[in-house]
Structure 1
């Protein structure tokens, strides 16, 4: 599993972007936890918040989902960021993204006790690119790192894609924001790109 190195500067995405540094790495055979610097201006975060860590390595920009909580070490306040999934190359800079407000449906398998059930959740896309989307949901959102099926309604077309939850945030007014990365846009890539560019053109025309 790829992870940032000791003393690496990273961005913790948890209710906002927080610049931090990896002060220690606590790992065993099952769990890897990053100990990140925490400044007073980072504010408070509830325990066990789904988040993401982003960093730049030798071969590009990467992100990985984490579950983060506040803690105290002898050398000061820290974030404990438990790695919750594999790191992926961050493609956000490679794809044009624009506000596209369309209905989407998310489906994923959730473990409840010893039983796996399929969850289905209606949502609204806040922005879209050929690489992924940000969705606003009102119910229980899938966790960071989860694999989800995404159904997107664009005009008279319905697109079905597979995606991974890169990060999840909780809004102050209720509800969640779920950032999704498409695992393989494939034949839908051109249609997604066209939808993003069309939305940006409409937005630019409205501002004139």
Structure 2
């Protein structure tokens, strides 16, 4: 009779405190013995890609570099070569602050992989001046107040340089169109367009660069 009564007795319920204690103890034991806990794989940083050797020709100088295939030209110019004229603005090809020239054509360096630029002639804002002598375009920006805060100015100058290399005597509408990929939050567009016109006129008169 006693044995049957024991069989019918309900088992003691596990309290919330007891459950949490058991779970915590199990997790601690797993850590001690080296049992791998579940991991959030998506939160882990991706391992670095294999480095590749590239040679970049920037402002007439050759640079041999080891880079990751995913590295952008903008970062290599700024962080590896110390050419900080090109600016990281939107970093998605909308503001133009990072504009450089590739083979004389304006290009967003934030959307260009460094490995893509191999074998191309890269020109940055640092490469326009001849020593301490500014180019006609750079002087025109100064004389026409083609800037305010100055953050976008290197990209504006490089976009204008690319435009004038493709079209030596652009009309105002052509200048507006050619510079439309470069934003100026200060709103100095009128002065920028005048600077481009002035540089075009100076080049046509005396062949100044």
Structure-2-length-normalised TM-score: 0.29
Larger strand proportion, structure 1 or 2? 1
**Bigger Rg, structure 1 or 2:** 2
Q: Which has the higher contact order (CA 8 A, sep 6+)?
A: 2
